[in-house]
Structure 1
Amino acid sequence: MQPSFVVLVDLSAAAERAAHYAAVLGELLHVRLALVNVYQVPLLSSELAFVAMPYFPQLQSDAEDAFQAMAERLPVAAEATVLVAPMHDAVQEAIARYHPLLLAMSLSPEQNGLDHLLRNHVLPVLRATHRPLLLVPEASLPSGRPRRVLVAVDNDYFALNASTLALAPLLASWQATFSVMHVRKASAGVEQPGRYAQLGGPLRKLLPQAAPGALYEDADHDTAAAVLRAVAEEQADLLILIARPRSFLGRLFHRSVTAQVLHSCPVPVLLLPANAPDQPDYMPPMS
């Protein structure tokens, strides 16, 4: 089966740039793009609904034509579809139809507020699908495949899930250099010898063997600032965050650190789902 990405789009220029970037990322693996627009039917009074309903099929047809035109402007094979359903149901339908390696979407700080978009769309999609999610901030202007990738992980053990490990061939196709940043608070006490090597163990199953990561440790209290500083110092053109239900990602969203990172991050961000130690398929690292 030909690999695919699902890109959640609207008719904005930012959404088209995100779709183009996703196309570039998957081009060497001949990834096919599925552009999915989730149309939310507006809540109308009964009188307005009576007038608007006859025009709805034409509106949907016009939207499908516009998104198909967007698909035809991309550098890889792509198709477009408009789904009329709540976001959660539409994403599940898209996954069942296309079996994507990852989902992608653009992020605009002005679109109803970045925090609102993250909490009400991004995080529910990630939790519901357990699929990798590529976020392309509107301010980022990626011009090609990433050459330097920064991977940020916290100080707790994790195991990458099957959907994340399935991205290994994709990451290898970029021929990029990968660096690993461990986020650890200064108040965490004396670090045990070899702990970072153990924490990096799961990443060896994902990152290309030809591009070993260089350890980047930061003990700053301001997590968002530490991550953004590491992106600048490593000259990264893609940031990867490891996402777990009740650990790194959960804390980031609840404390708005992810919102801070995405609001100021000059590069796209790839969220990779992982399993926490209390999940059934977690295997602790060998000592």
Structure 2
Amino acid sequence: MKTDFIVFTDGTPANEFMLAYAAVLAAPLGATLHLVHVLAQPLVALEFGPPLLDTDYVPAVRAGLLEAAARLPVPATVELLEDDNWYSALDQLLAAYQPALLLAGLSATDGPLDEWLSNRALPLAHRTGYPLLLVPEFLAAMYLRPPRRLVLAVEDRPFTLTPEGRALAPLLARLSCAVVPVTVLPPTGPTRAAPACGPRSAAG
């Protein structure tokens, strides 16, 4: 069965690390990466008169993505979607590819507006039900390898994974990636000191 990953690109520095990590994940699974950029035509301000559309923007973005795809060691395609509604464009992609995983870069931001503009993929897991992997902008080279453990943060109550989430399980098994459920509970009594680790000197 064909495995597809959708990789959202936005031209930020986080893309370089995110594409590298996406390739590391895709290689052992034989997955194809679909590099996606949802764009709205930017305007060029003139000194006099109304702003004009920047006709060089779309070709430049396409050329950059094609170059990035060509450098990847795994099969990759490029998709440029011109849609004023970002989520409408996303729905088209999900219907077309039914991906196993969504990937996006997580950029360092400064303030709520910068956060909204730079990390628009953050709500996707809740909105779509698809697994979403956010790759931080500053990812050390030592972590460019398939994961060994996946920490699953759950609340202290019954829960059900989405069908898209359950479909990821066979891929994690092929990566020999253990799933570790974790629940953080509030203290119910007096806090006890954790036992000391390592050798202790004997009391004299």
Q: CA-atom RMSD, angstroms?
A: 2.8
User: CA shift at 1:104, angstroms?
Assistant: 0.7
Cα 1:179–1:126 shift into 2, 3 Å: closer
| Separation (CA, whole Å) in 2 of partners of 1:127 and 1:177 | 23
| Separation (CA, whole Å) in 2 of partners of 1:45 and 1:115 | 22
Q: How does 1:195-206 map to 2 (within 5 A)?
A: none
Q: How does 1:1-287 map to 2 (within 5 A)?
A: 1-42=1-42, 47-49=49-51, 52-53=52-53, 55-56=54-55, 58-85=56-83, 86-110=85-109, 113=112, 116-117=115-116, 121-141=120-140, 142-187=143-188
1:83-114 residue CA offsets vs partner (Å, 9 max, x unmatched): 11122112112212222111110111226659
User: CA shift at 1:68, angstroms?
Assistant: 0.9
1:46-90 residue CA offsets vs partner (Å, 9 max, x unmatched): 9343xx23x42x321221111011111112100112111122112
Secondary structure of the residue that 1:121 maps to in structure 2? Answer: coil
User: CA shift at 1:23, angstroms?
Assistant: 2.0
1:217-266 residue CA offsets vs partner (Å, 9 max, x unmatched): xx9xxxxxxxxxxxxxxxxxxxxxxxxxxxxxxxxxxxxxxxxxxxxxxx
- Does the 8 Å contact 2:172/2:178 carry over to 1? no
User: CA shift at 1:41, angstroms?
Assistant: 3.0
Secondary structure of the residue that 1:172 maps to in structure 2? Answer: helix
User: CA shift at 1:157, angstroms?
Assistant: 1.1
| Separation (CA, whole Å) in 1 of partners of 2:118 and 2:60 | 30
Secondary structure of the residue that 2:127 maps to in structure 1? Answer: helix
| Separation (CA, whole Å) in 2 of partners of 1:153 and 1:9 | 29
Q: Report how many aligned residue pairs link the two structures.
A: 185
TM (normalized to structure 1)? 0.57
In structure 1, what residue type is equivalent to 2:68? M
Query: Quick one: higher RCO (CA 8 Å, sep 6+), 1 or 2?
Result: 2
Unaligned runs of at least 5 residues, structure 2: 192-204
| Separation (CA, whole Å) in 1 of partners of 2:139 and 2:118 | 21
Q: Partner residue of 1:236?
A: none
Secondary structure of the residue that 1:186 maps to in structure 2? Answer: coil
User: CA shift at 1:164, angstroms?
Assistant: 0.5
User: CA shift at 1:155, angstroms?
Assistant: 0.8
In structure 2, what residue type is equivalent to 1:162? P
TM (normalized to structure 2)? 0.78
Cα 1:48–1:111 shift into 2, 3 Å: farther
- Does the 8 Å contact 2:41/2:57 carry over to 1? no
Cα 1:156–1:124 shift into 2, 3 Å: same
State the structure with more CA Rg.
2
